[in-house]
Amino acid sequence: MKLLSIAIPCYNSENYMRKCIESLLVGGEDVEILIVDDGSTKDRTAEIADEYEAKYPTIVKAIHKENGGHGSAVNAGIAHASGLYFKVVDSDDWVKEEAYQKILSILREMAGGDKVLDMLISNFVYDKEGEKRKKVMHYRHILPQDKVFTWSDCHYFMKGHYILMHSVIFRTKLLRECGLKLPEHTFYVDNIYVFEPLPFVKNMYYLDVNFYRYYIGREDQSVNEQVMISRIDQQIRVNKLMIDYYVDHRNLLSKNKRLHQYMYNYLEIITTVSSVLLIRSGTEEHLAGKTELWQYMKEKDKGLYYKMRNGIMGSVMNLPGRGGRKISVEGYELCRKIFKFN
């Protein structure tokens, strides 16, 4: 069994996937690199994946599948993973070697220890094109360091401070046992990936190293503002799935106050992002879509709806008239800083 399986979802990624793969190969035989070719048709992605598998047969595995989107590629990675732990690295991102080696060292230690580690968290860096100063998302004031801890040991997560896909490594068996299956042909499913497994996470470890480099700058990137507006239907789908999950697992969440609070805050910021994008679009159809989203929440759980609707973010997102929408759009700039939209 490998120590760590790393899935790289690839779709027409020939221009940047090599940098990603090369940064991961330094992990050596402890690592399994799963290059998931998600039905690429326009370039040499599939050929490059096979090339690396042939060159590093004990480390790299090329997986070829019909196009199903990012979530489908992650699902395939989980299904094929033989590692004790599992990580997703997008094909236009990369990792830093020194931090990588430290993470592998901790995972080796945890694998031989008497406590089961469910999730390892590390820092990631927003590597935005054209910016000299790179923003680091760290958790040193929130999470205990250099020891295994539980949700009850965590400090309060401030708004804008969330555990994203770039920062987590899960225990592979946990992802399978919790029934995680990301929707196909849908963007923004990374929010589901770091939401649904959390009630099943008991033991965590935080390593304060800048491991993951999250590249932002491609015009077709899913976090580009105009791209997000054009795909708003998919953002809404993810938002509704997260509402469903939160409501359906509320009894489980209520057993841990800190976890419950964190998942509520995460759902709140996702709903805020959906609302401001719908307002930003400005079409009658999308403005009606915002009303429908909040109505959906109300029908699912009135208590959740009134708590979120009457909170600061919910109140700002639902101010009436053009003036109210203008204020809401100004709130959007806060979301830009939080989520690093282009």
Task: List, for residues 75-84, the tens digit of each pLDDT value.
Answer: 999 999 999 9
How is the chain split among helix, strand and coil, in percent rounded to 5? 50, 15, 35
Structural contact between residues 187 and 234, judged by C-beta atoms closer than 8 angstroms: yes
Q: Which of 216, 240, 262 is the last residue of a domain?
A: 216
pLDDT surpasses 50 at 143: yes
User: Do 183 and 323 sit in the same domain of this protein?
Assistant: no
User: Do 247 and 205 sit in the same domain of this protein?
Assistant: no
342 falls in which pLDDT band (50, 70, 90)?
Answer: very low
User: Do 262 and 205 sit in the same domain of this protein?
Assistant: no
pLDDT of residue 256: 93
Total Cβ atoms within 10 A of residue 181: 16
How far is residue 253's CA from residue 52's CA, in Å, rounded to a whole number?
Answer: 43
Looking at per-residue pLDDT, the higher value among 330 and 104 belongs to 104
Q: Which of 176, 195, 216 is the last residue of a domain?
A: 216
How far is residue 23's CA from residue 157's CA, in Å, rounded to a whole number?
Answer: 31
Q: What is the mean pLDDT of residues 166-189?
A: 97
Q: Which of 216, 233, 250 is the last residue of a domain?
A: 216
pLDDT of residue 223: 57
Kindly provide the b/e burial profile for residues 82-114, where b requires at least 16 CB atoms within 10 angstroms of the residue's own CB. ebbbbbbbbbbbbbbeebbebbbebbeebbeee
341 falls in which pLDDT band (50, 70, 90)?
Answer: very low
Please enumerate in sequence order all residues whose Cβ is within 8 A of that of 260, keeping only pairs 6 or more positions apart, or say none.
253, 254
Domain that holds residue 243: 225-339
The pTM score is 0.92
Q: Is 103 left (phi over 0), alpha (psi -120 to 50) or beta?
A: alpha
How far is residue 148's CA from residue 238's CA, in Å, rounded to a whole number?
Answer: 31
User: Do 33 and 112 sit in the same domain of this protein?
Assistant: yes
pLDDT surpasses 80 at 335: no
Q: List, as one string, the DSSP characters of 184-225.
A: SS-S-THHHHTTTTGGG---EEEEEEEEEEEEE--TT-TTSH
User: Do 212 and 151 sit in the same domain of this protein?
Assistant: yes
User: Do 311 and 191 sit in the same domain of this protein?
Assistant: no
Share of the chain above pLDDT 70, in %: 90
User: Do 202 and 244 sit in the same domain of this protein?
Assistant: no
Specify the residue for token string 């109300």. Answer: 298
User: Do 9 and 95 sit in the same domain of this protein?
Assistant: yes
User: Do 157 and 251 sit in the same domain of this protein?
Assistant: no
Looking at the DSSP bridge assignments, the partners of residue 8 are 35
Q: What is the CATH number of the domain that holds 86?
A: 3.90.550.10
User: Do 327 and 255 sit in the same domain of this protein?
Assistant: yes
User: Do 68 and 152 sit in the same domain of this protein?
Assistant: yes
How far is residue 312's CA from residue 28's CA, in Å, rounded to a whole number?
Answer: 49
Q: What single DSSP character describes residue 151?
A: G
What is the number of domains present in the chain?
Answer: 2
User: Do 102 and 200 sit in the same domain of this protein?
Assistant: yes
